[in-house]
Structure 1
């Protein structure tokens, strides 16, 4: 694959659901289609991640989750890179597999209550949108699939730090 994005391509600003479903890496990068939803495609991807967690991912053992998350991250690097190349935009806002993987990491490591999950959802979206340092630094400097995925892992780290403080001080059990 050549350098990114290909200057000979006209960037696709608003991909259609049909475009997303034509290639498996696009489908994955766009969170099974949630990335075309407006407003807030990242929020829709995070909602889908939460739904998938409730529907079954939470049943994975710690060992299974410790294998699943790095694999989902690596596959996401590949899928987001390929999709960004197809779009001509390295970090398109509709690519939300990064939110999904990062939020699964958060959900795995927090108390399994609706209250904790709701707070974690709000915190994760806050940090993902605000991009406090060093999240913004990496978001601006890292490109391709790894860059797309990495800044959301950092937003998850901020979320986990705040959640740990809330648990430590007895706000959450």
Structure 2
């Protein structure tokens, strides 16, 4: 048996299949306005600044998504909003991947593009609804996203780490939370009209 003479420390990865070479070795960063404006990916992933808050950035990002959707409806048709969402998914995947690596955290809470695009999907598929219906959709989505019951927890654990797999993982659990929200809304409409 030969002695081990060259031992390199291993970098942390949250998932065995994660891209170890992309994992940052230094301490995590806290995003600021300066960080937000340093790269287009930061601007997108941090929800155009809605994810910068210290308290409940996911909730703030979802509120921003709700407001942005209502404004978008004034200028875009439902089909155009659908195309915007379709483009927002791969762009968001890229932005979340880059921003997570730059923040040195695999799934930072300040990245809110996952909430934004997932809640846009909920509103796009469930509209038209009045204020109370939209508020119910918001509350359901936040519940599924924060509490992570069953399938949302599974999706959250599926793709962790840095690199494209981790970027997709940031989006995936929120997409599953959107699906769960839509399922509850559909059952409610079926039962109570």
**TM-score, length-normalised on structure 2?**
0.81
The RMSD of aligned alpha carbons is: 1.7
Cα-to-partner distance string for 1:113-152 (whole Å, 9 max, x where unaligned): 1111000000000000011122112212313211101110
Q: Give the match for residue 184 of structure 2.
A: 162
Out of 71, 90, 93, the position equivalent to 2:106 is 90
Distance 1:2 1:60, change over 3 A: farther
Unpaired runs of 5+ in structure 2?
1-18, 161-165
Tell me how many residue pairs correspond in the alignment. Answer: 169
Q: Give the match for residue 133 of structure 1.
A: 150
| Cα distance, 1:2 vs structure 2 | 7.3
* More off after superposition, 39-48 vs 58-67: 58-67
Residues in 2 aligned to 1:95 and 1:51: alpha-carbon distance in whole angstroms: 18
Within-5 A mapping of 1:57-136: 57=73, 59-110=75-126, 111-136=128-153
1:34 aligns with 2:56: no
Preserved contact between residue 155 and residue 176 of structure 2 (Cα < 8 Å): no
Q: Specify the SS of the correspondent of 2:150.
A: coil
Q: Specify the SS of the correspondent of 1:160.
A: helix
* Stretches of 4+ aligned residues off by more than 4 angstroms: none
| Cα distance, 1:26 vs structure 2 | 0.4
Structure with greater Cα Rg: 2
Q: Specify the SS of the correspondent of 2:50.
A: helix
Q: Give the match for residue 169 of structure 2.
A: 147
Cα-to-partner distance string for 1:42-67 (whole Å, 9 max, x where unaligned): 00000000111111246533332332
* More off after superposition, 97-106 vs 132-141: 132-141
Residues in 2 aligned to 1:158 and 1:49: alpha-carbon distance in whole angstroms: 18
Preserved contact between residue 4 and residue 88 of structure 1 (Cα < 8 Å): no
Residues in 2 aligned to 1:141 and 1:117: alpha-carbon distance in whole angstroms: 29
**TM-score, length-normalised on structure 1?**
0.90
